[in-house]
Amino acid sequence: MSGRRTKTIAAGGALIVGLFGFYFASPYLFSKGTSTELTPDEVRQYYLEHTTTSVLAVSGSTTTGPASGTSVGTAAPTTDAPPPLAVLPKLGIYTYATTGGDEVDALAGQHHDYPATTTITVVPSGCGVLQRWDVLKERWEEWQRCVQGDAIVQPARTNYDSFFGLSQTDAYSCSGDGRPVRAPAGTHWMLVCEEPGKVNTYSGEVIGAETMQVGGTAVDTLHVRITVDNGQSGDSQVTDTWYQVGSDLLIAQTALNATSNPSPVGTTHYLEHYEIHLVSLEPDT
């Protein structure tokens, strides 16, 4: 979810389909595979397993050092004071109203729908926090986020998918600019995420400040847009995200990803589209 689904659908993995013996270059050709929703207890168990008693969630956002649960303080403003630090979301489980799904046009075409609610679980990790978006047991993403002055940096991200027993995990190391948490429209930044054989270039742009509603509360947000270049000229991956101003709390996100892959039966096309919107500013713990 940037926090958004910007996974490159690259050739990788082989799957034999029944007696036809077709060799396909991507698990996304079989996106009609088993779709298993996580139960609230399973999501909570993940949270508890990744949160120790020495890390306390506190009222307000947390700082970035190794996540300590300390709230961020701001010095009295002066004419030459540095900009306030960015902040990370509080530890916990955030619920999002969700619509969308994905599809492929291989053979007769296949698709699956995303559940009505999904979760992003925030746990301590390294220099900051790890945020995990659980869509299905067969489909999740996670990204590490840390504070760097008045920006949020992403050292790593992982995408996981599994269809018909074939799973694929893409673990990327990332470097580049931090996402500004307070910036005027037109501000740009860039991030490159790599794993062996794959390079994704993320180009970010601030669209502007907007007010959104979360559970009846008006929230000031910064609307940003991420465009991903995976090296394939015909592919398009665009994600719009609304973050709470000054923080990395994801308020809403929309994504439209369209990619193509060669296969023995011709070029196949994959399309993903979704919208998520935060239900409550207070996470479950």
Q: What angle do CA 119, 121, 122 make, to 5 degrees?
A: 150
Q: What digits encode the pLDDT tens for the residues 96-110?
A: 999 998 777 766 666
pLDDT in tens, 210-245: 999 999 999 999 999 999 998 878 888 899 999 999
Residues in the chain: 285
- pLDDT value for 232: 79
Calculate the average pLDDT of the chain. Answer: 80
The percentage of the chain sitting over the pLDDT mark of 70, rounded to a whole number, equals 72
Distance from C-alpha of 241 to C-alpha of 204, rounded to nearest angstrom:
11
Query: What is the C-alpha to C-alpha distance for residues 244 and 221, in angstroms, rounded to an integer?
Result: 4
Amino acid symbol at 181: V
Residue 189's beta-bridge partner residues? 204
For the stretch 142-197, pLDDT in tens is: 999 999 999 999 999 998 876 556 677 989 999 999 999 999 999 999 999 999 98
CA distances to 72, 107, 114, 126, 191 from 60, rounded to whole Å, are 8, 51, 31, 20, 28
CB contact at 8 A, 175 and 200: no
> Which 3-state string (H, E, C) describes 133-179?
EEEECCEEEEEEEEEECCEEEEEEEEEEEEECCEEEEEEEEEEECCE
Residues 6+ apart with CB under 8 A from 230: 8, 10, 198, 199, 200, 201, 237, 259
As a whole number of angstroms, the distance between CA 66 and CA 126 comes to: 5
How confident is the model at residue 167, as a pLDDT? 74
Q: What is the pTM of this model?
A: 0.80
Kindly state the DSSP code that residue 247 receives in the 8-state scheme: B
The closest alpha carbon to 139, from 198, 192, 197, 98, belongs to: 98
Structure tokens at 173: 């190391």
Beta-bridge partners for 143: 131, 157
Q: Is the pLDDT of residue 56 over 90?
A: no
Share of the chain above pLDDT 90, in %: 55
State the Cα–Cα distance between residues 215 and 213, nearest whole angstrom.
Answer: 6
Helix segments in the chain, DSSP class H:
40-49
Measured from the Cβ of residue 14, the count of other Cβ atoms closer than 10 Å reads 12
Q: Is the pLDDT of residue 33 over 60?
A: no
By the 8 A CB rule, do 68 and 55 touch? yes
Instruction: Give dist(CA 51, CA 48) in Å, integer.
Output: 5
